[in-house]
Amino acid sequence: MAESILNSINSPVDLRQLPAEKLTQLAAELRRFIIEIVATKEGHLGASLGVVELTIALHYVFNTPKDLLVWDVGHQAYGHKILTGRRDVFHTNRQLHGISGFPKRSESEYDTFGVGHSSTAISAALGMAIASNLKGETEKQHIAVVGDASIASGMAFEGLNHAGVTKANLLIVLNDNAIGIDPSVGALKNYLTKARVGYRPRQANIIEALNFKYYGPVDGHDLEGLLKAFEALKKIKGPKFLHVITRKGKGLKKAEEDQVKYHAPGKFIPDTGELLPYETKDLSLKFQDVFGLTLVELAEKNENIIGITPAMPTGSSLKYMMDAFPERAFDVGIAEQHAVTLAAGMATRGFTVFCAIYSTFLQRAYDQVIHDVALQNLPVIFCLDRAGLVGEDGATHHGIFDIAYLRCIPNMIIFAPLDEVELRNMMFTVQQDVPAHPVVIRYPRGRGSRKEWQLPFETLEFGKAKCLKEGSEIAVLSLGSIGINVHKAIRELSKDSRIGHYDMRFAKPLDEELLHVIFKKYKKIITIEDGVIAGGFGSAVVEFAQKNGFFVPIEVLGIPDQFIDHGKVEELQEIANLSVESIVSCLTSQLD
Ligand SMILES: Cc1ncc(C[n+]2csc(CCOP(=O)(O)OP(=O)(O)O)c2C)c(N)n1
Ligand SMILES: CC(=O)[C@@H](O)[C@H](O)COP(=O)(O)O
Ligand SMILES: [Mg+2]
């Protein structure tokens, strides 16, 4: 058996000692290594398999880390991590205290820029390149690797537009596999598809028109061709662009065939790619599916309903509506800002628009939420998926800021369902009797707590909470599905009659009528939310108490003022004192 080349590489310095003929074997080993680890430890698969040759070629030709290599999104950077000194810890990828699933500056000098959200690489690399010019480091190379879905985002265009009028020594590598998580969309995608098969416009192509030197397309799995292209590009000054064609999932048949599923497939058999069944007795549906299926159910009766997703049809389950009503459901690509203002535009014309966005990605569209929606009081319905701690994606993806960043905006209604039934009922309510305000419905990643979720719809009253259990001394006010942990904690305490539990449902408006009753009745209040403490739901309750002259002690549980890394949701909840056990000990200490 041939000796392992991969095992001999502890950094790109070792890689660059290899004769070029050895790189094909290295690519095979690297691909196999990624497959074996991801098969058991889980994570993003298809994107990294698709850039194995590209990763090797970049580190082989360029003098990393002196030359600066920036990955966009970073879910495709597993090969980069393995070749840059993290092979032996790669099995800890995305686990608590293990390495991050994305490039992270604190992890390695080869990770030049922290990522997780898309379309930042061009701006970041351009910033580095301009800085190098200012420092007189004119020989330094700056390379941004960006995907075909990510380059269609507004931010990437902003970077291209700027770069084209600079003398920055910037190479943009477009990794074009014609797919994001779901198939790429839009006019640029159509243009790139034509370019893949050799179409050359009679005048400058889009990229050349922006003042870049354009090269390609080249086959991203042909190591020899890539080495040649990079060697040539190294000598060319200024902004330049290499169009590389790759195949997502390359090297694992099933991953190539079903690229959507194998974006992040969960556990599978490494040799065949066959997926292993999800290990759970929990038969509840995912919140995203309750959202997606309920939207179809409602849209069947209400022709006014529109659905919008920025590039997450599968992740948000808007795909159900896209299949059922293609003319009323839109995947707009990685374009959160556009998605929000598009929804606002449709709302001005009387449509009931459900804009499904992951909580963390709505951060991109903050001004659009304020300026285009809230200021005009347009009744857009934001369905914020992945709210709260999301687990293994970590700090870049936790949806923990939304309550705080949305609560301060006038006109907003912010609702968080305890369970799937409340989610459905709120969706039913907002489309039946469209409020004169924007509405946010935030719900978590993963499965709910109800097996029977498809109950007959009920109308919910805006700004009204629900008492789940009366008590006499301590009132726990929970917002959203974290209330299930409170419920379990109270059950562990044998439903102690001193503890009351309220499902507050709305962070805005608060149920002030009920709060008056609670503050008069109880000796102590505990608020709990799966969002940041600063400015969140608990802060709203504290503001209420101050405004109304209540001096009952209030303990606010939520995410402390720090970024939370990756790990299982339960582990992270433990760290943030939001787990069932933490709530039990909090309640026990208050009752003693
Ligand atoms: C701002 C933002 N929106 C959405 C996402 C979710 N997301 C992660 S990867 C991805 C698709 C990226 O596709 P592409 O750029 O083509 O890269 P590939 O996966 O093909 O390597 C999306 C939509 C994100 N990370 N950031
Ligand atoms: C890299 C990225 O942003 C997405 O792939 C994200 O990891 C998807 O998250 P979910 O698994 O929660 O859909
Ligand atoms: Mg792609």
Residues 6+ apart with CB under 8 A from 415: 426, 439, 440, 441, 442, 505, 506, 507
pLDDT (tens digit per residue) in 86-134: 999 999 999 999 999 999 999 999 999 999 999 999 999 999 999 999 9
More confident residue, 412 or 200: 412
Q: Binding site for Mg(2+): residue ranges?
A: 148, 177
Q: Give residue-wise pLDDT tens across range 23-53.
A: 999 999 999 999 999 999 999 999 999 999 9
Alpha-carbon span 59 to 67, nearest angstrom: 9
CATH superfamily of this structure's domain 287-442: Thiamin diphosphate (ThDP)-binding fold, Pyr/PP domains (3.40.50.970)
Residue 269 is predicted with a pLDDT of 97
Residue nearest to ligand 2 atom 13, measured at CA: 315
What is the torsion angle, in degrees rounded to the nearest 10, for the CA atoms of residue 223, residue 259, residue 80 and residue 140?
70
CA dist 328 and 330 (Å) reads: 7
Tell me if 233 sits within 8 A of 215, measured CB to CB: yes
At 29, the amino acid letter reads E
Residue extent(s) of CATH 3.40.50.920 domains in the chain: 466-591
pLDDT tier at 280, thresholds 50, 70, 90: low
Tokens 């810890």 sit at which residue? 89
Domain with CATH 3.40.50.970 in the chain: 6-263, 287-442
Higher-pLDDT residue of 303, 278: 303
The ipTM is 0.99
Ligand 1: lining residues by beta carbon, under 6 Å: 47, 73, 75-76, 117-118, 147-150, 175, 177, 179-181, 248, 311, 334, 361, 364
Residue 353 CA to ligand 2 centre (angstroms)? 24
Residue 483 contacts by C-beta under 8 Å, 6 or more apart in sequence? 418, 468, 501, 503, 528
Question: Is residue 364 among the annotated active site residues?
Answer: yes
Cβ contact 453:287 at 8 Å:
no
SS3 555: strand
Q: Is the pLDDT confidence value at 204 over 80?
A: no
Q: For residue 328, indicate whether it is catalytic.
A: no
Mean of pLDDT over the chain: 96
pTM of the complete model: 0.97
CB 5 within 8 A of CB 82: no
* DSSP-derived 3-state class of residue 527: strand
Q: Is the CB of 315 under 6 A from ligand 2?
A: yes
Q: Is the CB of 437 under 6 A from ligand 2?
A: no
What is the second-level CATH architecture of the domain 6-263?
3-Layer(aba) Sandwich (3.40)
- C-beta separation of 530 from 359 below 8 A: no
Q: In Å, how far are 57, 155, 278 from 32, measured between CA atoms?
A: 18, 34, 23
73 lines ligand 2 (CB under 6 A): yes
Class of domain 466-591: alpha beta
Out of 104, 240, 248, 319, the active site residue is 248
**What is the CA(74)–ligand 2 centre distance, in A?**
11
Task: Give 281's pLDDT tier (boundaries 50, 70, 90).
Answer: low
Whether 574 is catalytic: no
- Check residue 199 and give its pLDDT: 74
pLDDT at position 1 is: 60
